[in-house]
Structure 1
Amino acid sequence: MNLQDLKNKTILLLGKSRAFSEDEFFSQLQFHKINVSKEPNEDVRLVLEGRMMSPYEQNLSDALYEQKKYEFINIDIFEKLLAQEIDNDTLLMSLKLSNDKARLKSFLQNSCIDDTLFFKLLKMYSFGDEDFFENDDNRDVSAALIGRFYENIERNHNVQYATTGIYHLVVQTKNAQLLEAIADLKPIKKHPKIIKALVLHEKIPVSVQKMFLKKGDEATKEVMAYNANLDKNIARELIKDEKLAAIVAQNIKLDEEMFRLLSAYKNALAANETLNEAMQQELVTCNEMPIYLALAANSSLHVTTCKLLLAMQNEDIDTIIYTNSATPVEILQAAYAKGKYNESLSKNSATPQDILRELFLSEDEYILCNLAQNENTPVEILYQLQLESRFERAVKTNAAFGKHIQSENIGWL
């Protein structure tokens, strides 16, 4: 259906509008030159079934349907057609000139408008100096924002009316435009937790990074330094502070340019999980124990780097390597054969299960506790360990055991 087909025609409205306010709904119909009747007559071309129909209207709808003389359409479909015909620029200019806050809020609550228009309208709304839910208008707009973008909102309606809903939006979304919109909302200044989630988000737009670099406090800039997806130009500004430089060096996604730029912070670089093989081997040549230890613990430890470190025959380095899940299985097997590194191997989720089963036979409390926490420990062993009060909590907090319980649809013993 095309609204143009209804120009100068009459529709029979049963019930009420849903997405549009009543005034806005009739205003839109008037704009499209569509006449409205509340009773059937010879001019009616379409029956529009709205929400909250009275018993009389429901009976009338049923009777008209039986006559098979009219086309019927649901209010949700019709309002989407109305929303598609809105000229965004005209509406925005009208709202700006009229300063009609009630109409602005009505459109923000309208689920039929598209996200592009919603974000433009949200930018126009003023929260004043009050919080997201501190007054009725702010509450309605905040609820509309959460309701529009929150994943599976139907399973958690309460979050729509709580500031935690805004926080969850940030954590859930991959939508950079939504992150930018939330970052621009004045009330977030009252919520450091939301700001932290924003500046750590992998999809945070460069525009938002620039805003927090310029306006954020020192605590915000420090949190931003932990973001692996930090823009290079933002990183260059942050590393002017030595404390922040070390944080950036350890966390930012490295390429050759950033590796050279941060070369003064080799200890931090050695812990960066995005080091490639060439970078790791270059750091090995630095001949500094803190760098060796950081590389040994690096979750992206390359096999060549691993062998170079083991060749140093340092007990501290070896102990860390055998705990590292990035260490190749054959190296872990060789370590077990030596019989010296059982405690480290019992912590390592890469340790083969046959070795973990043998370690279970140990009476060493530390090893058994490590096995209770190890996500690679065979489930039958975890069942046995949870029967002992010493290890019960460790087993219950073991993510792999939790998934097993859920998959088997059983409760804790």
Structure 2
Amino acid sequence: MGYYALMENIQLENQNIFFTGRADKIDKSELEKYLVQKGSILVNSINEATIIIQGKFTPIYLEETIYELSKKQITIIQIEKLEEEFSSNLDIDSILMAIKISKDNDRLLKLLNNNFFSDDIFVKLLKLYDFKGDDIYDSDDNRDVCTKIVERFCSLIETNHNIQYAPIGVYYTALETSNPNLLDVIYNMPDYVISAKNAQEDQPLSLKEVVALNPNTSKITQLEILKNSKMNELKFLALNESINQMIQKKLFEKNIDEISLSLIKTNNYDESFIDDFLNNYTLKKELLKKAILDDKLFYKFFENIDDVSIIYLSSNDTLNEEMINKLFEKNIDNANINLLKNKNCPKDKIEEFLKLQDKIYNISIAHNTTLPTQLYLYLFSLDDYDVNLSLAQNTTTPKEVLKSLAALNDKFINETLCANISTPINILLQYQYDGGLKNIISNNDSFREFTRKMVGM
């Protein structure tokens, strides 16, 4: 009876071991060092062996011999089992030190391909890898290492297996990972830059920018970014929601509008910065639109405010009913338009402006996401093309109204409906056969989720 053993049943100490074929995770010299530590040796003849390790691509004639020997109770270990034990018992600190001293890149590459290592060990090994000044995909070795990074840390590989073979995979890995040690390593890798062609506002384009923006980036790397003082990286560091007050202050002290604008957009600033922001027209405009308002801050802005500044303040999403009513008292058309779109706009104000039967105000109200159903129906009943476009864009427009808008079969209304995540799926399915609308639908998050469920992902 054959004896193909599990590792937990095996004692490797003081054995004569014959190794045949090859291993994926460890090479023969690495295996020999491991066995020497256990007092065992590798023998050249299978007939001298007390244990046989059967690797991959074992010659057929040896496979037959191994099978016959297994009948005689010779222990046969499959290489995968030994690789797993080897990986879990390795003195990784000693190996890291040895690689640092020897700069043995071949050995390091072999270890980086070992899937039995934990993520922590993988990152420690990765830190030692030398890209030799080449881009991340400019050599076979660099490409293999980056492929392993994506395989381990990028969730997109579950729906797109090819992403591991493209440099964009490392970009997405840096974007989503919560591993600060991995982010430290990626920041010090050769940079990679994606195309700016379809980039969104404030989207990072390079690996270093992604690391600067990722809230899981360590404080040590954040300080390194500060020290390097590269404008594009500082801008994204200022947008990082995890930076502490000390880093905020250092960025503020750069006194660069672009960096200060980023601090304002993410509300990464101390109250003491506000007066300086208000004294700079560009920063003041953004501050009025983006600040998280409480009564104290609102009235600080409101006092001695000019009409143009009222318009910027009226577009602030954090206005409450009392603040909105206060701004309505100024009765500035462009401010009224912004206030009517605000989800906190008092219902009596909406009713008041609807009675004016003003086209521009009706368009604004149609953008409001907190209207009662009857008001959406009323707006649709006005049969105003521009109001209908606003209703088609509004994610809270009732489905019955969205269906009625689709029935109008207007090119621009159809395009707007295709981008709306609330448009019923059956309507989007009809539109997907229109070449001009297909690309818009493909970027609709609701439709993408529906498609994933349909294919069982």
**Alignment-derived partner of residue 211 in structure 1:** 224
**Alignment-derived partner of residue 188 in structure 1:** 191
CA distance in 2: counterparts of 1:50 and 1:122, whole angstroms: 26
- Name the SS of the counterpart of 2:250 in structure 1: helix
Once the two structures are superposed, residues 61-100 of structure 1 have per-residue CA deviations (whole angstroms, 9 ceiling, x without a partner) of: 3223344x13433212212222232223322333333343
Structure 1 gaps, min length 5: none
Once the two structures are superposed, residues 327-353 of structure 1 have per-residue CA deviations (whole angstroms, 9 ceiling, x without a partner) of: 3242x6435425474332221011111
Give the superposition deviation at 1:276.
7.2
Once the two structures are superposed, residues 227-280 of structure 1 have per-residue CA deviations (whole angstroms, 9 ceiling, x without a partner) of: 34444332222233233222221224x6xx7467447456434554x9477699
CA distance in 2: counterparts of 1:302 and 1:282, whole angstroms: 19
Give the superposition deviation at 1:54.
0.9
**Alignment-derived partner of residue 94 in structure 1:** 98
CA distance in 2: counterparts of 1:355 and 1:189, whole angstroms: 46
Q: Is 1:72 paired with 2:114?
A: no
**Alignment-derived partner of residue 421 in structure 2:** 375
Q: Which moved more, 1:257-266 or 1:344-353?
A: 257-266
Amino acid at match of 2:133: D
**Counterparts in 2 of 1:62 and 1:382: CA distance versus 1, 3 Å:** same
Q: Which moved more, 1:207-216 or 1:228-237?
A: 228-237
Q: Select 1:104's aligned residue among 108, 133, 144.
A: 108
Once the two structures are superposed, residues 378-398 of structure 1 have per-residue CA deviations (whole angstroms, 9 ceiling, x without a partner) of: 234445556777766645654
CA distance in 2: counterparts of 1:226 and 1:317, whole angstroms: 34
Q: Is the 8 A contact 1:277 1:305 kept in 2?
A: no
- Name the SS of the counterpart of 2:67 in structure 1: helix
Please, what TM-score do these two structures have when normalized by structure 2?
0.71
CA distance in 1: counterparts of 2:129 and 2:433, whole angstroms: 58
Q: Is the 8 A contact 2:18 2:43 kept in 1?
A: yes
**Alignment-derived partner of residue 22 in structure 2:** 16
Q: Which moved more, 1:301-310 or 1:357-366?
A: 301-310
**Alignment-derived partner of residue 165 in structure 1:** 169
**Counterparts in 2 of 1:24 and 1:277: CA distance versus 1, 3 Å:** same
- Name the SS of the counterpart of 1:188 in structure 2: coil
Q: Is the 8 A contact 1:123 1:181 kept in 2?
A: yes
Please, what TM-score do these two structures have when normalized by structure 1?
0.77
Give the superposition deviation at 1:220.
2.2
**Alignment-derived partner of residue 351 in structure 1:** 397
Q: Is the 8 A contact 2:238 2:251 kept in 1?
A: yes
Structure 2 gaps, min length 5: 1-6, 195-204, 278-282, 320-336
Amino acid at match of 1:78: L
CA distance in 1: counterparts of 2:138 and 2:158, whole angstroms: 24
Q: Is the 8 A contact 2:55 2:79 kept in 1?
A: yes
Q: Select 2:286's aligned residue among 221, 244, 268.
A: 268
Q: Is 1:55 paired with 2:68?
A: no
**Counterparts in 2 of 1:155 and 1:48: CA distance versus 1, 3 Å:** farther
The percentage of aligned residue pairs carrying the same residue is 24
Amino acid at match of 1:16: R
Aligned ranges 1:168-179 → 2 under 5 Å:
168-179=172-183
Give the superposition deviation at 1:143.
4.3
Once the two structures are superposed, residues 96-120 of structure 1 have per-residue CA deviations (whole angstroms, 9 ceiling, x without a partner) of: 3334344334333433333333333
Give the superposition deviation at 1:209.
2.1
**Alignment-derived partner of residue 313 in structure 2:** 291
**Alignment-derived partner of residue 13 in structure 2:** 7
Amino acid at match of 2:13: K
For the aligned residue pairs, the C-alpha RMSD in angstroms reads: 4.1
**Counterparts in 2 of 1:15 and 1:383: CA distance versus 1, 3 Å:** closer
Q: Is the 8 A contact 1:267 1:294 kept in 2?
A: no
CA distance in 1: counterparts of 2:298 and 2:374, whole angstroms: 24
Q: Is the 8 A contact 1:284 1:292 kept in 2?
A: no
**Counterparts in 2 of 1:178 and 1:388: CA distance versus 1, 3 Å:** closer
Q: Is the 8 A contact 2:376 2:397 kept in 1?
A: no
CA distance in 1: counterparts of 2:453 and 2:165, whole angstroms: 33
CA distance in 1: counterparts of 2:454 and 2:259, whole angstroms: 46
CA distance in 2: counterparts of 1:309 and 1:209, whole angstroms: 47
Q: Is 1:232 paired with 2:232?
A: no
Amino acid at match of 1:126: D
CA distance in 2: counterparts of 1:96 and 1:396, whole angstroms: 48
CA distance in 1: counterparts of 2:440 and 2:118, whole angstroms: 48
Q: Is 1:201 paired with 2:214?
A: yes
Give the superposition deviation at 1:52.
1.4
**Alignment-derived partner of residue 328 in structure 1:** 370
CA distance in 1: counterparts of 2:418 and 2:160, whole angstroms: 33
Q: Which moved more, 1:89-98 or 1:17-26?
A: 89-98
- Name the SS of the counterpart of 1:47 in structure 2: strand
Q: Is 1:400 paired with 2:413?
A: no
- Name the SS of the counterpart of 2:191 in structure 1: helix
CA distance in 2: counterparts of 1:65 and 1:34, whole angstroms: 20
How many residues are aligned here? 397
Give the superposition deviation at 1:179.
1.3
Give the superposition deviation at 1:282.
6.2
Once the two structures are superposed, residues 273-294 of structure 1 have per-residue CA deviations (whole angstroms, 9 ceiling, x without a partner) of: x947769976995661112124
Give the superposition deviation at 1:39.
4.3
- Name the SS of the counterpart of 2:19 in structure 1: strand
